């Protein structure tokens, strides 16, 4: 009893029973075709269809078990516990150093890192994610990342980041686990947690992440006990047409009036974002603080501006007899 191929898809071929002794089985990937000769005298297969499968290594997109995804999510959570929650950045991996938004993103990330004094989280890839990473490192603050095996529509040749230590980022096989990590990194469990979600210009992948997180905030499913500031950076009116579409959604009644505006803060400049975060976290600034230092000389220290509340300055520790005078 012999076999002849009735069709194939990818590396899988379907065979049905015939009376031929030798069968030429053709398979390929569109660029190269190979032929496999089968001698039916060595086979004893009942009537019906047979599926032949060429063995291949597991690809990034293959899921052989739900446990693989679950374990990858666990790895993301463990990295967050190690480095700490903080500011999460979403944005394009395609815009290089010659693009004006690259330097804007670098400066914004540097200033937010200084303002919030927290870990910053990125996609650990090229483009604006690279700009954020460099900006945070310039501020001398910690940075972590969830890298993906595919960036800018091309498979990465290596999972190694060019300059980040390997214990500060994790390369995800699955986008679902990466998203879990990005969301958890922004969760606020206590009032001392200073986190944020900052959206830079980006494409389809960025919008996918933006609307998933926006939906979680809208439905109170983000898992954060305290509100998380969500900032959309509308550099050079990049997102203006998207915002116009959302206005149309209000007109059509698919979202409530003012609903989207209540979920995020749209900023055109870095200064707007920094002012919004300072207000959100109730940072004092541009005020005067007079500190009378105890001692026979009666010295006075004048500080023009500061971040955070007075106890965070550590003055009571350094000067036990100090009294704080506010103007």
Which residues have a Cβ under 8 Å from the Cβ of 267 and sit 6 or more positions away? 231, 232, 233, 234, 273, 276
What local confidence, expressed as pLDDT, does residue 13 receive?
43
Query: Is 59 part of a structural domain of the chain?
Result: no
- Residues 218-257 pLDDT 10s: 999 999 999 999 999 999 999 999 999 999 999 999 999 9
Query: Is 254 part of a structural domain of the chain?
Result: yes
What local confidence, expressed as pLDDT, does residue 324 receive?
41
- Give the integer Cα–Cα distance in Å for 154 and 137: 27
What local confidence, expressed as pLDDT, does residue 291 receive?
35
Give the residue among 13, 14, 49 at the shortest CA–CA distance from 33. Answer: 13
What does the pLDDT profile of the chain (327 residues) look like in tens digits?
Answer: 444 444 444 444 444 444 555 555 454 544 455 555 555 444 444 444 444 444 344 454 566 788 999 999 999 999 999 999 999 999 999 999 999 999 999 999 999 999 999 999 999 999 999 999 999 999 999 999 999 876 655 556 667 889 999 999 999 988 999 999 999 999 999 999 999 999 999 999 999 999 999 999 999 999 999 999 999 999 999 999 999 999 999 999 999 999 999 999 999 999 999 999 999 999 864 443 333 333 333 443 444 444 444 434 444 334 344 344 433
Cα Rg, the chain, nearest whole Å = 28
Output the domain CATH number for residue 158.
3.40.50.450
Query: Is 305 part of a structural domain of the chain?
Result: no
Query: Is 47 part of a structural domain of the chain?
Result: no
Total number of domains constituting the chain: 1
Query: Is 138 part of a structural domain of the chain?
Result: yes
Strands of the sheet containing 230-233, edge to edge, are 169-172, 143-148, 119-122, 86-90, 196-199, 230-233, 265-267
Query: Is 288 part of a structural domain of the chain?
Result: no
Contact 83, 124 (CB under 8 A): no
- Residues 140-188 pLDDT 10s: 999 999 998 766 555 566 678 899 999 999 999 889 999 999 999 999 9
Residue 111's domain spans which residues?
Answer: 66-279
The size of the chain, in residues, is: 327
What local confidence, expressed as pLDDT, does residue 284 receive?
66
Query: Is 270 part of a structural domain of the chain?
Result: yes
């Amino acid at each position: 009893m012999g076999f002849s191929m009735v069709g194939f898809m990818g590396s899988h071929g379907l065979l049905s029973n015939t009376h031929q002794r030798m069968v030429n089985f053709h398979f390929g990937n569109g660029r190269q075709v190979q032929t496999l000769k089968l001698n039916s005298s060595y086979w004893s297969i009942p009537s019906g269809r047979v599926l032949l499968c060429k063995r291949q290594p597991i690809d990034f997109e293959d899921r052989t078990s739900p446990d693989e995804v679950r374990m990858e999510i666990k790895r993301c959570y463990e990295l967050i516990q190690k480095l700490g929650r903080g500011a999460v950045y979403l944005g394009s991996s395609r815009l290089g150093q010659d693009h004006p938004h690259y330097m804007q993103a670098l400066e914004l990330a540097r200033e937010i890192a200084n303002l919030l004094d927290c870990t910053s989280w990125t996609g650990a890839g090229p483009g604006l994610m690279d700009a954020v990473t460099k900006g945070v490192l310039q501020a001398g603050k910690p940075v972590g990342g969830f890298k993906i095996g595919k960036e800018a529509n091309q498979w990465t040749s290596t999972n190694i980041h060019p300059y980040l230590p390997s214990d500060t980022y994790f390369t995800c096989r699955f986008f679902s686990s990466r998203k879990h990590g990005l969301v958890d990194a922004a969760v606020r469990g206590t009032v001392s947690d200073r986190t944020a979600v900052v959206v830079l210009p980006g494409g389809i992948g960025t919008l996918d992440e933006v609307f998933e997180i926006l939906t979680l905030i809208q439905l109170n499913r983000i898992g954060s006990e305290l509100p998380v500031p969500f900032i959309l950076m509308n550099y050079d009116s990049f997102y203006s047409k998207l915002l116009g579409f959302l206005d149309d959604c209000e007109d059509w009644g698919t979202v409530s009036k003012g609903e989207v505006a209540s979920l995020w803060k749209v900023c055109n400049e870095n200064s707007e974002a920094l002012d919004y975060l300072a207000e959100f976290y109730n940072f004092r600034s541009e005020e005067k603080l007079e500190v009378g230092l105890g001692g026979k000389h009666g010295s006075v220290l004048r500080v023009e501006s500061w971040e955070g509340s007075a106890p965070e300055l550590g003055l009571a520790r350094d000067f036990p007899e100090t009294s704080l005078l506010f103007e």
